């Protein structure tokens, strides 16, 4: 029933204070729930880290896919393995929403990857272990702790509500570290059916910021074909592919525009056969980063129109912009606002960050689906020997994820 206008106005401040007090105590209860389960979360992460899963080893990655499928099925999810010949099988798990009410709510997509950059056998020199409140191991930050958070947030919501409050789709891909070639289309199709996407990649920095913007990423290979000749007998007859490539690299360096967030990095060069031969072949692998989608076509065109310095050489450019940037759209900002509110409920000032690295969140955000990235573990050393997560951060990361599954 409608109340008299003046009364409603009067009651608003009181109601708000009361509501935020209730939110605070609910937040504290949830934080306590996860704090009591902190060591169980650590054990889940350890289980995942101890199944080594380099992107390029199909038997290894398929093993962890099967393991994860069983883990999520134990919570009532319906699993579908997306078979791939060249990469591991990516795992999709669908959870139904509540049996009654809000039947029309679309799922939220929890996105992650189980592949790592570490070759099989890395555990022998880089074991999974706890020391000084840190959990170390290959892939612990990027991003096996993120997968563990999904499992524990789903379990918590089922415990609190008796069932999941809305449909949830989990998609854990096999090939993120090598470009997501086998999984990209599926990620995009699932994102399209979802209200929002939460990416469980590591948080930004030790302050645990979520990621609301990521640069777009491109990879190109420039091959130069020259004319070989004996460096001693016929130096004038050769056309050095290496010399031409060196000039091309200098030309490429001029395409950098760091102020506008555009960078071009010749990261790997190869060429030549012997010191006494004028090189007939050379190549360079180039990493390109862009801040806005608008920059994609321009840099692509400029790379394709690099001009020969030595007309007797030939150039061949392959590659493209693989991931468009994740831009901080209104949808992204709205998700961040919701995350801030949840964090606020436990006195936590959740920050946001824009980062240079890409993830599968670039795909979903690029389609215009609200995406919040960096929802996973807090730590340092992704892809490096000192990779770790901060164990004491796990409870509030889980709390945040559970809250965002409800709210996204």
Q: Which residues bind Zn ion (CB under 5 A)?
A: 142-143, 201
Return the number of the residue (300 or 373) whose C-beta is nearest Zn ion.
Answer: 373
Return the number of the residue (238 or 377) whose C-beta is nearest Zn ion.
Answer: 377
Name the nearest CA neighbour of 406 among 28, 97, 71, 20: 97
Angle at Cα 109 formed by Cα 353 and Cα 102, nearest 5°?
A: 120
Residue nearest to Zn ion (CB): 142
Name the nearest CA neighbour of 153 among 392, 352, 332, 396: 396
Nearest-approach distance from CB 268 to Zn ion, in angstroms: 21
Return the number of the residue (112 or 271) whose C-beta is nearest Zn ion.
Answer: 112
Return the number of the residue (62 or 201) whose C-beta is nearest Zn ion.
Answer: 201
Name the nearest CA neighbour of 3 among 286, 11, 172: 11
Return the number of the residue (201 or 300) whose C-beta is nearest Zn ion.
Answer: 201
Nearest-approach distance from CB 357 to Zn ion, in angstroms: 8
Nearest-approach distance from CB 205 to Zn ion, in angstroms: 15
Nearest-approach distance from CB 132 to Zn ion, in angstroms: 24
Return the number of the residue (142 or 244) whose C-beta is nearest Zn ion.
Answer: 142
Nearest-approach distance from CB 328 to Zn ion, in angstroms: 20
Return the number of the residue (113 or 152) whose C-beta is nearest Zn ion.
Answer: 113
Nearest-approach distance from CB 92 to Zn ion, in angstroms: 18
Return the number of the residue (142 or 393) whose C-beta is nearest Zn ion.
Answer: 142
Nearest-approach distance from CB 143 to Zn ion, in angstroms: 5
The CA distance from 47 to 28, in Å, is: 28
Return the number of the residue (203 or 222) whose C-beta is nearest Zn ion.
Answer: 203
Return the number of the residue (244 or 393) whose C-beta is nearest Zn ion.
Answer: 393
Three-state secondary structure along the chain? Answer: CCCCHHHHHHHHHHHHHHHHHHHHHHHHHHHHHHHHCHHHHHHHHHHHHCCCCECCCHHHHHHHHHHHHHHHHCCCCEEEEECCCCCCCEEEEEECCCCCCCCCCCCEEEEEECCECCCCCHHHHCCCEEECCEEECCCHHHHHHHHHHHHHHHHHHHHHHCCCCCCEEEEEECCHHHCCCCCHHHHHHHHHCCCEEEECCCCECCCCEEEEEECEEEEEEEEEECECEECCCCHHHCECHHHHHHHHHHHHHCCCEHHHCEEEEEEEEEECCCCCEECCEEEEEEEEEECCCHHHHHHHHHHHCCCCCCCCCEEEEEEEEEECCECCCHHHHHHHHHHHHHHHCCCCCCCEEEECCCCCHHHHHHCCCCEEECCCCCEECCCCCCCEEEHHHHHHHHHHHHHHHHHC
Nearest-approach distance from CB 191 to Zn ion, in angstroms: 17
Name the nearest CA neighbour of 323 among 136, 187, 172: 187
Nearest-approach distance from CB 113 to Zn ion, in angstroms: 6
The CA distance from 312 to 240, in Å, is: 9
Nearest-approach distance from CB 162 to Zn ion, in angstroms: 33
């Amino acid at each position: 029933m409608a109340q008299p206008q003046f009364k409603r106005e009067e009651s608003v401040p009181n109601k708000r204070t009361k509501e935020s007090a209730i939110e605070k105590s609910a937040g504290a209860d949830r934080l306590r729930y996860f704090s009591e389960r902190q060591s169980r979360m650590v054990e889940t992460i350890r289980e995942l880290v101890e199944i080594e899963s380099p992107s390029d080893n199909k038997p290894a990655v398929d093993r962890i896919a099967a393991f994860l499928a069983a883990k999520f099925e134990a919570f009532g999810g319906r699993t579908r393995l997306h078979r791939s010949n060249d990469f591991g099988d990516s795992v999709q798990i669908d959870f139904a929403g509540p049996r009654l009410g809000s039947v029309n709510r679309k799922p939220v997509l929890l996105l992650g990857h189980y592949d790592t950059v570490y070759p099989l056998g890395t555990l022998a020199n880089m074991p999974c272990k706890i020391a000084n409140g840190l959990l170390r191991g290959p892939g612990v930050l990027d991003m096996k702790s993120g997968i563990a958070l999904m499992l524990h947030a789903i379990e918590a919501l089922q415990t609190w509500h008796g069932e999941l409050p809305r449909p949830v789709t989990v998609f854990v891909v096999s090939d993120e570290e090598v470009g997501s070639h086998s999984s990209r289309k599926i990620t995009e199709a699932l994102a399209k059916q979802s209200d929002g996407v939460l990416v469980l990649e590591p948080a930004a920095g030790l302050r645990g910021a979520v990621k609301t913007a990521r640069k777009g990423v491109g990879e190109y290979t420039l091959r130069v074909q020259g004319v070989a000749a004996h460096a001693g007998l016929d130096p004038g007859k050769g056309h050095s592919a290496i010399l031409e490539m060196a000039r091309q690299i200098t030309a490429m360096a001029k395409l950098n525009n760091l102020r506008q967030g555009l960078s071009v990095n010749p990261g790997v060069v190869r060429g030549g056969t012997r010191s006494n031969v004028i090189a007939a072949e050379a190549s360079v692998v180039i990493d390109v980063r862009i801040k806005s989608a608008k920059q994609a076509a321009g840099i692509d065109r400029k790379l394709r129109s690099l001009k020969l310095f030595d007309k007797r050489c030939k150039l061949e450019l392959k590659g493209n912009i693989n991931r468009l940037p994740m831009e901080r759209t209104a949808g992204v900002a709205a998700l961040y606002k919701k995350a801030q509110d949840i964090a606020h409920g436990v006195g936590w000032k959740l920050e946001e960050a824009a980062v240079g690295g890409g993830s599968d969140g670039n795909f979903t955000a690029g389609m215009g689906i609200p995406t919040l990235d960096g929802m996973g573990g807090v730590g340092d050393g992704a892809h490096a020997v000192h990779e770790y997560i901060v164990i004491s951060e796990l409870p509030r990361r889980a709390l945040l994820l559970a809250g965002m599954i409800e709210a996204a």
